[in-house]
């Protein structure tokens, strides 16, 4: 639909240079070329299929440069459309005749045209420009961004590309007010128009976010957290064949770039593959790093590994042999600033371990060297340095040779090994405890000689033991039914979050080796007995699969033969759990839980509702309170800890209930955001 000249003059300004744009009369496209060349435009558009680059059979005519110019295509003297003229400069690289494709994309329109060009033999100079061909013209809306590509058919070289931003109409303005952003549309009261917000994608089609049909002047309010660099606005009058105006005003907004990184999520797909979920493209690189317990920074494993370019929603791979909870992915932007870091394997493999990472470097003639990664750097082994790895270097090398270290990565240049340090720490603490016992025995003899002080000493000793047990944290055994791999990742995320609190969490996900060696029944029986003897709590995490198994047991009293796998500890545990409930021993030692939107507490069999059953994350404070020591005072930080667990659990919940590519209910931008918002399309 032609735009009135009054609006065009408002958009283009009063510059004589701009207002004197060349006018084209008539709706037909056309082409012309430099003197000496012959060219013609195909009658209809073609499919935009560049194809792969193929070797040239000889000298070919190829595009070398794109040049654009704004012109006006007018139906009447005062009704014109903005149009983009494109000049393609050509050179002989390898045929004296070529088919040149021009591809245009301006949301929501895309088209491709084909130009045939022929060069006389007299003008052929290899590698030199032979002239240009001009295409009139591609119509585009005010405020839109037009992306242009040019290549030959067949394609002998990488395509040329160019982006042209057209001026916007003044009645669409963006203003800021504190944490809010206002879209101000100054149109007449009787004007009906459509407004759409979308994420403009570099690769793939745009992603619509919100749409509504409106009337008259409007002020649309957006929260600053909704802004991302690729958030664009499209406005058009509700008339047949109307021109749509596009504007992307947040590309350089610092808040939008900050929001983009906050919305980005790393997601583990398999042991070796992962991807980045984000609303917009991110110019970034990623690498593996090693994070040790204790709050030290994650140390990049570059070298021996390398940085990888990251593309949003594209699967990336690292050449790992095994996963490890201390392995993390860190991502930096183009200015080498760390923006995102996630330990992807922690949810399935448990919390950080006190392991030492050994880096093996291989040289010519089977020469190799080893060093241990520490906060101060990589300590060569063996070494006389005063670091922890240097002091234990001989033992670490013995563990490596005896196969007690886990190999994480291997290639011709080197390898990575994770060696456990727990046993050396236990030996050291055993000596410390022995010294403490000897000191306590000597102190007892002295105090027994002073009977008046004996009772006071015993009272102080009892208080110290109690405070030590409280600091150590209550034991918690987490039982669940392995309904599917997504639910297992959700359970792993919950267990990892609980480990950040004063709790000692046990879950079969982190003990697969022991579970396979002992068998599910024996493993659970030992864990349950140890947990209850220490005054701990058993958490029954109910899901639809767990409810079905419980109902089966309550009806038949026995599990079907061969119906469970080697890691299904929940089914195996029912033979020990049910007696505790049937004989009334469960209250105080058991609690139940289920996830919001996955299972209603009323679906849990009545027998198991004799203990509290909490929904997560809505009842996290009460759930954490039930996991505390029975006589422990209610901590004033309980709400803060609940928020901490909720934040850690939220990415796993989003991934489980809303897989990437499906919009989450209730999320979006603009008034009434969410599914079904708007009056039409």
Once rounded to an integer, what is the mean pLDDT over residues 402-411?
86
Spatial distance between the Cα atoms of 361 and 634, rounded to a whole number of angstroms: 53
Burial 344-374 (b: 16+ CB within 10 A, else e): bbbbbbbbbbebbbbbbeeeeeeeeebbbbb
Once rounded to an integer, what is the mean pLDDT over residues 174-200?
82
Cβ-in-10-Å burial (0-12, 13-18, 19+) of 423 comes to exposed
Spatial distance between the Cα atoms of 223 and 298, rounded to a whole number of angstroms: 34
SS (H, E, C) 515-572: HHHHCHHHHHHHHHHHHHHCCCEEEEECCHHHHHHHHHHHHHCCCCCCCCCCCCHHHH
Once rounded to an integer, what is the mean pLDDT over residues 302-317?
81
| Tens digits of residue pLDDT in 475-514 | 999 999 888 888 888 898 898 888 888 788 998 888 877 7
Spatial distance between the Cα atoms of 406 and 377, rounded to a whole number of angstroms: 21
Instruction: Record the tokens describing residue 1, joined without a space.
Output: 């639909």
- pLDDT value, residue 462: 46
Which whole-number Å values give the CA distances from 389 to 226, 342, 375, 397, 428, in the listed order?
Answer: 48, 26, 11, 11, 14
DSSP 217: S
Specify the 3-state DSSP secondary structure of 471: helix
Is the pLDDT score of 662 beyond 80?
no
- pLDDT value, residue 508: 86
Is the pLDDT score of 182 beyond 80?
yes
- Work out the angle at residue 358's Cα, subtended by the Cα atoms of residues 356 and 360, and round it to the nearest 5 degrees: 180
Nearest to 197 by CA among 107, 281, 277: 107
- pLDDT value, residue 431: 54
Is the pLDDT score of 567 beyond 50?
no
Burial 121-147 (b: 16+ CB within 10 A, else e): eebeeeeeebbbbbbbbbbbbbbbbbe
Task: Write phi, then psi, for 508 (nearest 5 degrees).
Answer: -65, -20
Order across the sheet with 414-420: list the strands.
377-381, 368-374, 355-362, 414-420, 406-411
- Work out the angle at residue 580's Cα, subtended by the Cα atoms of residues 575 and 585, and round it to the nearest 5 degrees: 175
Confidence of residue 186 (pLDDT cuts 50, 70, 90): confident
Is the pLDDT score of 131 beyond 80?
yes
Is the pLDDT score of 206 beyond 80?
yes
Confidence of residue 539 (pLDDT cuts 50, 70, 90): very high
Instruction: Record the tokens describing residue 516, joined without a space.
Output: 């396979």
Once rounded to an integer, what is the mean pLDDT over residues 214-226?
85
- pLDDT value, residue 266: 82
Omega before 108 within 30 of 0, i.e. cis: yes
Spatial distance between the Cα atoms of 637 and 226, rounded to a whole number of angstroms: 31
SS (H, E, C) 23-56: EEECCCCEEEECCCCEEEECCCCCCCCCCCCCCC
Spatial distance between the Cα atoms of 126 and 129, rounded to a whole number of angstroms: 9
Q: Are 50 and 151 in contact (CB under 8 A)?
A: yes
The mean predicted confidence, pLDDT, of the chain is 77
Nearest to 234 by CA among 142, 296, 358, 126: 142
Task: Write phi, then psi, for 646 (nearest 5 degrees).
Answer: -65, -40
Confidence of residue 220 (pLDDT cuts 50, 70, 90): confident
Which whole-number Å values give the CA distances from 428 to 6, 125, 211, 392, 435, in the listed order?
Answer: 85, 81, 65, 12, 11
DSSP alpha helix (H) spans, 105-169? none
How much of the chain exceeds pLDDT 90, in percent? 7
Spatial distance between the Cα atoms of 546 and 479, rounded to a whole number of angstroms: 10
Nearest to 597 by CA among 654, 660, 677: 654
Is the pLDDT score of 372 beyond 60?
yes
- Count other Cβ atoms within 10 Å, centred on residue 485: 9
Is the pLDDT score of 404 beyond 50?
yes
Nearest to 529 by CA among 467, 472, 577: 577
Specify the 3-state DSSP secondary structure of 85: strand
Rg (CA), the chain: 34
Residue 507 contacts by C-beta under 8 Å, 6 or more apart in sequence?
A: 350, 477, 478, 480, 491, 492, 495
């Amino acid at each position: 639909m032609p735009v009135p000249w009054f609006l065009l003059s408002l958009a283009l300004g009063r510059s004589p240079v701009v207002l004197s744009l060349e006018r084209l009369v008539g709706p037909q496209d056309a082409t012309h070329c430099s003197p000496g060349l012959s060219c013609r435009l195909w009658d209809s558009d073609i499919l935009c299929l560049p194809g792969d680059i193929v070797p040239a059979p000889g000298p070919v005519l190829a595009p070398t440069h794109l040049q654009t110019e704004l012109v006006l295509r007018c139906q009447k003297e005062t009704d014109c459309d903005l149009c983009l003229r494109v000049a393609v400069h050509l050179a002989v690289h390898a045929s004296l005749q070529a088919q040149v494709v021009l591809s245009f994309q301006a949301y929501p329109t895309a088209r491709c045209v084909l130009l045939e060009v022929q060069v006389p033999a007299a003008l052929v100079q290899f590698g030199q420009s032979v002239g240009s061909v001009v295409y009139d013209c591609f119509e585009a809306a005010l405020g839109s961004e037009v992306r242009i590509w040019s290549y030959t058919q067949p394609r002998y070289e990488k395509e040329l590309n160019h982006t042209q931003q057209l001026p916007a109409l003044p009645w669409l303005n963006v203003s800021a007010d504190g944490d809010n952003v206002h879209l101000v549309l100054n149109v007449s009261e009787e004007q009906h128009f459509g407004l759409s917000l979308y994420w403009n994608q570099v690769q793939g089609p745009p992603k619509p976010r919100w749409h509504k049909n409106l009337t008259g002047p409007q002020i649309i309010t957006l929260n600053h957290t909704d802004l991302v660099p690729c958030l664009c606005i499209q406005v058009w009058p509700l008339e047949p064949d109307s021109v749509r105006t596009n504007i992307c005003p947040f590309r350089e907004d610092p808040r939008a770039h900050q929001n983009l990184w906050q919305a980005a999520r790393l997601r583990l797909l398999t042991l070796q593959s992962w991807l980045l979920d984000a609303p917009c493209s991110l110019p970034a690189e990623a690498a593996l790093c090693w994070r040790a317990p204790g709050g030290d920074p994650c140390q990049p494993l570059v070298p021996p590994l390398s940085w990888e370019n990251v593309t949003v929603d594209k699967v990336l791979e690292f050449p790992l042999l095994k996963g490890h909870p201390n392995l993390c992915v860190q991502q930096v932007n183009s200015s080498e600033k760390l923006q995102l870091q996630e330990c992807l394997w922690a949810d399935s493999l448990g919390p950080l371990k006190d392991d030492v990472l050994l880096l093996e470097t291989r040289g010519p003639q089977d020469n190799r060297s080893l060093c241990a990664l520490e906060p101060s750097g990589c300590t060569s082994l063996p070494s006389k340095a005063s670091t922890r790895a240097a002091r234990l270097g001989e033992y670490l090398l013995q563990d490596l040779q005896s196969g007690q270290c886990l190999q994480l990565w291997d290639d011709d240049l080197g390898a990575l090994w994770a060696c456990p340090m727990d046993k050396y720490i236990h030996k050291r603490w055993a000596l410390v405890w022995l010294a403490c016992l000897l000191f306590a025995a000597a102190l007892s003899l002295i105090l027994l000689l002073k009977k008046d002080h004996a009772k006071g000493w015993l009272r102080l000793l009892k208080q110290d033991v109690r405070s030590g047990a409280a600091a150590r944290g209550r034991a918690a055994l987490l039982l669940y039914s392995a309904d599917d791999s997504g639910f297992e990742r959700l359970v792993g995320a919950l267990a990892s979050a609980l480990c950040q609190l004063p709790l000692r969490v046990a879950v079969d996900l982190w003990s697969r080796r022991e579970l396979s060696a002992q068998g599910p029944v024996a493993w659970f029986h030992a864990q349950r007995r140890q947990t209850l003897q220490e005054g701990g709590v058993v958490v029954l995490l109910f899901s639809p699969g767990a409810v079905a198994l419980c109902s089966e047991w309550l009806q038949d009293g026995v599990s079907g033969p061969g119906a469970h796998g080697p890691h299904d500890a929940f089914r195996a545990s029912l033979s020990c759990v049910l007696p505790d409930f049937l004989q009334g021993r469960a209250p105080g030692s058991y609690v139940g839980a289920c996830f919001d939107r996955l299972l209603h507490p009323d679906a849990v069999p009545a027998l198991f509702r004799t203990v509290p059953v909490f929904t997560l994350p809505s009842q996290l404070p009460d759930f954490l309170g039930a996991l505390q020591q029975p006589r422990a005072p209610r901590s004033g930080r309980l709400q803060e800890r609940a928020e901490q667990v909720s934040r850690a659990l939220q990415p796993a919940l989003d991934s489980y209930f809303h897989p990437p590519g499906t919009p989450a209910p209730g999320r979006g931008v603009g008034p009434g955001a969410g599914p079904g918002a708007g009056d039409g399309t």
